[in-house]
Structure 1
Amino acid sequence: MSRDGQRSSRLRHRPSRAIPSIIAGILLLAAGVALAWLAITRLANGTWPPLLQGPRDWLAVLAWNDPAIRQIGIAAVVAGVVLLLCAFIPGGFNALTIDDSRSGAGAEEPPVQERETVMTRRAVARLAKARCLQIDGVGSAAATATTRRVHLNVTTSLHEPGDLRARITDAVRARLEETGLSPVPQVTATVRSRD
């Protein structure tokens, strides 16, 4: 994928933190519904529901310096810190950048300024898998990719694979370099013999 222009949004973006937001929202909504139900029951009947009898009695005998209060406080602080970290620490990039400055080297036109070319992690994994399947001795392959690493799980019919792992990693790394990924992710492989 590529996009030109100064006003366009970046193609290589970080994912939104929707999952932690949804979890926090559902928990807060459930707490709000429960508190509203308890308050309405208290106002309508003049007493708290029998469901709260056990927790109410337990809370009535607690003191501020009770170990249970400290444990509840520590758990609340840890949950809050985890949610804050989820909100502030950015997620991983969804794509890898391609250095396309080499493509305009011999052209008559000057290269386009502010051009961004990216390749999604899924596309990098598919490219690595396709290159791996072209290597002699590889029966099947599966690939996963992050912005820093590509890992291949390879199955071979060879009883002794020998240097197959090195050939795979070298060939895939060379293909990723030819593509122009910048920086080229580290390539690792796990080779298993099919029984």
Structure 2
Amino acid sequence: MSGRKAWRRGARVFRPHRSVPAAVVAVALAVAGVLTLIEAVASTPGSPVRAESLDRAVDWVAARWADPATMAASALAVLLGLVLLGLGVTPGRPRLVPLASDDPLSAVGITKGAARRYMAAVADDVEGVSRARARLGRRRLDVRVTTPLREPGDLRERVTAAVERHLEELAPLRRPKVRVAVRRKEPRVR
């Protein structure tokens, strides 16, 4: 499977769906459908269903329709409905990083937090690093290391090489650009 095709498949598989806004819209549409059904059945001649309370609610809204508060509430309800529909239709941000797989029918992923901790641990294992942190964005992996060394020398290059090597082993479908920052900090004397 080509790299671009694999990336699209992995992103599609691991992209979360926004089920809460979709559920709210579905419930609101179901309520509106039930109310419409009740009104339709109640308006047929000889129907046993009486929609007196619904008629009173419709009459109350019709009497107050020109009121600015009613119009504002209606506009707000329409706007909220459109926002919820938009959120329900568009997928959310992916929570997993898709990884390359030899099997084209399988999709493999790792959480962003696990990938971040793994890369921080890799950087922390480099000699001369006392502490490491990593941030994983869409296109970039930022690694910040702290060292007690006065002259860090080639520490940045060694950390970059270690992270790049382990990133290659991890094999994300979209490989982030690695950026390493070295900070010198004196060890505490107790």
| Structure 1 position 192 matched with structure 2 position 183 | yes
Given candidates 158, 163, 166, the residue that maps to 1:167 is: 158
Q: 1:113 to 1:18 in 2, by over 3 A?
A: closer
Question: 1:43-62 maps to which residues of 2 (within 5 A)?
Answer: none
1:68-90 Cα shifts (integer Å, max 9, x gaps): xxxxxxxxxx9999888766654
Cα contact 1:12–1:96 (8 A) shared by 2:
no
Distance in 1 between the 2:176 and 2:147 partners? 24
What's the offset of the Cα at 1:184? 1.7
- Which ranges of structure 2 fall in alignment gaps of 5 or more residues? 1-9, 26-78
Aligned to 1:75: none
- The equivalent of 1:94 in structure 2 is 95
TM-score by length of 2: 0.52
- TM-score w.r.t. length of structure 1: 0.51
Report the 3-state secondary structure (helix = DSSP H, G, I; strand = E; otherwise coil) of the residue aligned with 2:149.
coil
Shift of 1:123: 1.6
Cα separation, partners in 2 of 1:113 and 1:16, compared to 1, 3 Å: closer
Change (3 A) 1:87 1:177: same
1:150–1:186 CA contact under 8 A, matched in 2? yes
Q: Deviations over 1:32-85 (max 9, x none)?
A: xxxxxxxxxxxxxxxxxxxxxxxxxxxxxxxxxxxxxxxxxxxxxx99998887
Structure 1 alignment gaps of length 5 or more: 1-9, 26-77, 102-111
Q: How big is the alpha-carbon RMSD for the aligned residues of Structure 1 and Structure 2?
A: 4.3
Aligned to 2:173: 182
How many residues of Structure 1 are paired with residues of Structure 2 in the alignment? 144
Kept in 2: contact 1:145–1:151 (CA 8 A):
yes
Q: Which has the higher helix share?
A: 2
Deviation string, structure 1 residues 101-126 (Cα, Å, up to 9, x no partner): 2xxxxxxxxxx551111111112112
Supply the distance in 2 between the matched residues of 1:14 and 1:189 (Cα, whole angstroms): 28
